[in-house]
Structure 1
Amino acid sequence: MEPVTIRTLQSTDAEALLTFEVDNREWFERHIDARGADFYSAQGVTEHIAAYLADHAAGIWHPFVIEDADGQIVGRANLKDIDTSARSAEVGYRIAQSAGGQGLATLAVKHLIQQAQLRWNLKQLVANVYAENIASAKVLKRCGFLIEQVSRQAGTDQEYRFGLSI
């Protein structure tokens, strides 16, 4: 694996993040819920970043980007819905199609686990994955997550909920 950097999202990431999201839009939409069309613009991404950074300042979200050796964004990872009283959060991540199969998702999840422990003092993480997203399920299992439940609502895809006690 080439060297990468995982760091907190910054307001100056708008252009690079828009490029990452546009370049991988079709790929992501095969595996996770689609974003609204208004997201895919300079204003949409700038507003998205501002909201995430406001939630980070409020202590309920921790957004990260993953950069390759050239400084290009090749992934994202988030601790979301951080609940410091319950000491829990949800993890989410997305890796560029061109960077798949290189261990970046596993690295990202391990980073989230580490940050959950060290930065946020959390004890429980959860992740939701569509049944068709076998690669993400494998990453979560590799990182110690266990399937907690399987759900399916009328008209939706089957989804697995994974949990990890840390």
Structure 2
Amino acid sequence: MDVFLHLLHPSDVSALLEFEVENRGWFEQFVPARDDSFYSYAGVAEQVTSFLTEYDNGEMIPMLIKDTNGTICGRINVREIDLYGESGELGYRVGHSFGSKGIASNAVRKLLIYLAEYSSLKYVDAYALVGNVGSNKILSKAGFDLVEHVENYALFKGQNQAANYYRKAIPF
């Protein structure tokens, strides 16, 4: 499925809230739950404002993944951009009804092109829980190199989870 990336904007709050509420249960199967306060117009607006401040400060690139109709399919971002603007950490999530359609792979590929054209980043890092077969496959297919296996990466649902740490050089 063809998608495009859209830099997060304050006008996205309502649609983003709808997307997050609709996919809350789906996401919480794979990542720690957000506070209940997030799932309100004020909660999402606060996050959007925070992310855009980080974007203005060169600390983050927050984007939405949209289909050709402008429907939000997911989110993708680079966060924790270092002080020199050389590397950051990739994160993404795709809504339940958009899974297994190549959307995440397409979005990662498009983000890498965007970064090569519009950022000074030299590397993008990514972590995928070992049990998240789909994300590990997406990162490998996108040309990320497996750097190391990290034991006890995160505590999720009461259990320590291992992750694979990946890195991708951004071509100039």
Normalization by structure 1: what TM-score?
A: 0.92
Output the CA distance in 1 between the equivalents of 2:85 and 2:7: 23
Checking the alignment, whether the CA contact within 8 Å between 1:124 and 1:165 is kept in structure 2 is: yes
Checking the alignment, whether the CA contact within 8 Å between 2:17 and 2:41 is kept in structure 1 is: yes
- CA RMSD, 1 decimal: 1.5
Deviating above 3 A after TM superposition, structure 1's stretches of 4 or more consecutive aligned residues are: none
Checking the alignment, whether the CA contact within 8 Å between 2:148 and 2:165 is kept in structure 1 is: yes
Q: CA deviation at 1:4?
A: 2.6
Normalization by structure 2: what TM-score?
A: 0.89
Q: Which residue of 2 aligns with 1:104?
A: 103
Distance of aligned partners of 1:86 and 1:16 in 2 relative to their CA distance in 1, 3 Å threshold? closer
Following superposition of structure 1 onto structure 2, how do residues 12-161 of structure 1 map, counting pairs within 5 Å? 12-83=11-82, 85=84, 87-153=86-152, 155-161=159-165
Identity of aligned residues (%): 35
Output the CA distance in 2 between the equivalents of 1:54 and 1:13: 15
Q: In structure 2, the residue corresponding to 1:82 is in which secondary structure?
A: coil
Q: CA deviation at 1:34?
A: 2.1
Output the CA distance in 2 between the equivalents of 1:22 and 1:37: 10
Q: CA deviation at 1:45?
A: 0.2
Structure 2 unaligned segments of length 5 or more: list them: none
Q: CA deviation at 1:99?
A: 0.7
In structure 1, what residue type is equivalent to 2:120? N
Q: In structure 2, the residue corresponding to 1:163 is in which secondary structure?
A: strand
Give the paired residue count.
165
Q: In structure 2, the residue corresponding to 1:47 is in which secondary structure?
A: helix
Output the CA distance in 2 between the equivalents of 1:148 and 1:121: 22
In structure 2, what residue type is equivalent to 1:99? F
